[in-house]
C-alpha cells in the first residue's frame, strides 16, 4: 500500500471514529424512538472500523512475510564472519572498536 493511500485510509478511519464518538456523546439526548436507529448506525460504523483495521493487519502480515522471504534469501555469512573477527579483536585487546 502506498504512503498516500495509507494516509488517506488513516484520515477516513479517524473520520469514522470521530463520527462514532459524536454518536456516543449524543446518546443521552436521543429520543427513545430514535435510539434503535442511532445504535444501528453506531454498529455499522464499528463494523466498518473493524473491517478496515483487519484489512490493515492482513496487509501488515503480508508485508512482514515478504520481508522475511527477502531476508531469508540474503547471505549474511560474510557479515557474520567480519563481526566475529571484530569481536575476537575486541576480546584480545580489551578495547571496543579496535
| Structure confidence by residue, pLDDT tens digits, 1-48 | 567 777 888 899 999 999 999 999 999 999 999 999 999 999 999 999
Contacts of 2 (CB under 8 A, 6+ apart): none
Domain chopping of the chain, boundaries:
3-93
Query: Mean pLDDT score of the chain, rounded to an integer?
Result: 89
In whole angstroms, give the CA distance from residue 57 to residue 48.
14
Residue scoring higher pLDDT (7 or 83): 83
Alpha carbon distance 12, 4 (integer Å): 12
User: What local confidence, expressed as pLDDT, does residue 97 receive?
Assistant: 63
Rounded-to-integer distance, Cα 65 and Cα 24, Å: 38
For residues 55 and 12, give the distance between their C-alpha atoms in angstroms, rounded to a whole number.
14
Query: Could you tell me how many residues make up the chain?
Result: 98
DSSP string, 30-50: S-HHHHHHHHHHHHHHHHHHH
Amino acid at each position: 500500500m502506498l504512503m498516500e493511500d495509507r494516509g488517506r485510509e488513516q484520515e477516513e478511519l479517524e473520520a469514522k471514529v470521530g463520527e462514532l464518538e459524536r454518536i456516543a456523546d449524543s446518546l443521552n439526548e436521543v429520543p427513545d424512538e430514535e435510539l434503535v436507529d442511532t445504535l444501528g448506525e453506531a454498529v455499522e460504523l464499528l463494523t466498518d472500523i473493524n473491517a478496515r483495521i483487519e484489512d490493515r493487519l492482513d496487509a501488515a502480515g503480508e508485508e512482514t512475510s515478504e520481508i522475511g522471504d527477502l531476508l531469508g534469501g540474503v547471505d549474511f555469512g560474510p557479515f557474520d564472519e567480519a563481526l566475529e573477527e571484530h569481536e575476537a579483536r575486541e576480546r584480545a585487546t580489551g578495547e571496543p572498536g579496535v
